[in-house]
């Protein structure tokens, strides 16, 4: 990229900082430091100056370039915006400031590579055994760390031999006719390629309670690109996805098992990327995280609760991206409807992975330190299983605690007697 185009891109991002809601909200900051005390990253490393310092405080002094480059150590967990009593868009300010900095300085090749989740899924699926063997090989991981910059011990997805859409094409048609109409299912990149079993179970649960499930072709939501400062690519990704999710019809509820991607469509693409398209607003108002949707049915007296007992202690972690949606902890409430299941909330702020943050060699130890209280909690309270709503968080918890970690829908599927 030429220096001229880089400067133009940085200026466009800087203009957004200076003119939009994120910029205006900084004057609402009263320097109470609640965001500082709640920040999981600032608590474990001096490399990050804290969300207030690099956000509302530093933003008042930004004109040409960032005054504090430690903003790159922000994990974008969003905790600061959630806890702010004044409604300051702290996380959004920090994300934009980091994007300006990367537009000026350039984005590392590694950060571009690890955002290509659909490409990775398509490439790994046909050679799943080989891909998994390489990712499990210590020498290969050491080389990856040295050459690419992905830490040798960072959690990696497990490649599957069959994608979700391939399974959908060859599966028999459901024998039970739908009684409630149709829904659109958004599985996210992981559900399409790496956590196919959980995506299958989500479809089977929705069909079991009476819905026809439509699964359109779909790509990435752009969240990984956004968190790495690639705003143009992220905007293109989310717009493509919005078009794909609208294809089956604009009057259908969209159900997702990709918790962080749901947050992207509900608010982040609008607030951080600055996308104001009516099509995005339409999708954002119709999409529901699957536990959120099932609990809405329960509140209306429309959810079958003929659950079989599941005798188990189950640590449950509500991820940051779920909390930022302002929907409470519907998965925790849903799991408590299952007889015999003792759900233990983690009450921990963050697992540390933050999408791609904990994969990077310079941030891996920080991510581990952030997540250590959660790993300890899971080990102390598990009967062999834990639950969490978002994919990378599950991989982080499982790798660092040694406890298998699943999407809550897996337990619901079992309780309905659908698991073999």
Residue length of the chain: 420
pLDDT, position 63:
61
Read off the pLDDT of residues 162-178 as tens digits, 9 standing for 90 and up: 999 999 999 988 878 89
End-to-end CA distance of the chain: 54
C-alpha to C-alpha distance for 49 and 43, rounded to whole angstroms: 10
Specify the pLDDT at position 27.
Answer: 82
The rounded Cα 347 to chain-centroid distance in angstroms is: 18
Any residues with CB less than 8 A from the CB of 164 and at least 6 apart, and which? Answer: 187, 191, 192, 193, 196, 199, 200, 215
Cα distances (angstroms) measured from residue 86 to each of 35, 90, 106, 173, 315: 11, 10, 34, 52, 32
CA distances from 124 to 43, 145, 298, 414 (A): 37, 19, 39, 29
Q: How far apart are CA 405 and CA 375, in angstroms?
A: 11
The whole-number pLDDT of residue 14 equals 66
Residue 104 C-alpha from the chain's centroid:
27
pLDDT of residue 420: 64
pLDDT at 70: 87
Q: Which ranges of 86-215 would DSSP assign to H, the alpha helix?
A: 90-105, 109-113, 117-124, 128-135, 138-147, 164-170, 188-193, 196-208
Which residues of the chain carry a pLDDT beneath 50?
none
* Count of Cβ atoms closer than 10 Å to residue 183 Cβ: 22
Q: CA-CA-CA-CA torsion for 183, 188, 192, 193, nearest 10 degrees?
A: -170
């Amino acid at each position: 990229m030429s220096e001229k185009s880089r400067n133009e891109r940085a200026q466009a991002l800087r203009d957004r900082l200076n003119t939009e809601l994120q910029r205006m909200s900084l004057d609402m900051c009263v320097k109470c430091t609640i965001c500082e005390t709640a920040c999981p990253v600032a608590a474990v490393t001096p490399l990050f100056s804290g969300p207030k310092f690099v956000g509302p405080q530093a933003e008042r002094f930004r004109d040409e370039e960032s005054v504090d480059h430690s903003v790159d150590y922000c994990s974008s967990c969003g905790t600061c915006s959630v806890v702010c009593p004044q409604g300051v868009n702290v996380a959004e300010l920090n994300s934009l400031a980091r994007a300006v900095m990367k537009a000026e300085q350039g984005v590392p090749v590694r950060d571009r590579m690890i955002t290509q989740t659909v490409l990775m899924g398509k490439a790994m699926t046909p050679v799943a055994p080989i891909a998994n063997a390489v990712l499990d090989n210590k020498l290969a991981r050491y080389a990856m760390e040295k050459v690419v910059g992905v830490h040798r011990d960072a959690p990696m997805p497990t490649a599957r031999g069959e994608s979700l859409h391939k399974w959908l094409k060859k599966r028999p048609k459901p024998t039970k006719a739908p009684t409630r109409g149709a829904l659109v299912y958004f599985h996210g990149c992981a559900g399409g390629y790496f956590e196919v079993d959980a995506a299958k179970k989500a479809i089977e649960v929705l069909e079991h309670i009476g819905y026809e499930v439509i699964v359109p072709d779909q790509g990435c939501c752009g969240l990984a690109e956004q968190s790495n400062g690639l705003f143009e690519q992220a905007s293109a990704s989310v717009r493509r996805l919005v078009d794909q999710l609208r294809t089956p019809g604009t009057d259908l509820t969209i159900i997702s098992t990709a918790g962080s991607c749901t947050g992207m469509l509900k608010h982040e693409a609008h607030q951080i990327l600055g996308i104001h398209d009516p099509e995005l607003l339409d999708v954002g108002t119709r999409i529901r995280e699957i536990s959120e949707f099932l609990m809405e049915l329960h509140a209306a007296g429309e959810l079958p609760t003929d659950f079989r007992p599941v005798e188990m202690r189950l640590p449950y972690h509500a991820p940051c991206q779920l909390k930022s949606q302002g929907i409470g902890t519907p998965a925790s409430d849903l799991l408590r409807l299952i007889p015999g299941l003792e759900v233990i909330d983690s009450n921990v702020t963050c697992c540390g992975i933050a999408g791609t943050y904990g994969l990077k060699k310079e941030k891996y130890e920080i991510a581990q330190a952030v997540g250590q209280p959660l790993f300890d909690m899971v080990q102390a309270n598990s009967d062999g299983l834990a639950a969490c709503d978002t994919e990378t968080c599950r991989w982080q918890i499982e790798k660092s605690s040694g406890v298998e970690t699943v999407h809550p829908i897996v337990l619901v599927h079992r309780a309905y007697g659908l698991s073999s």
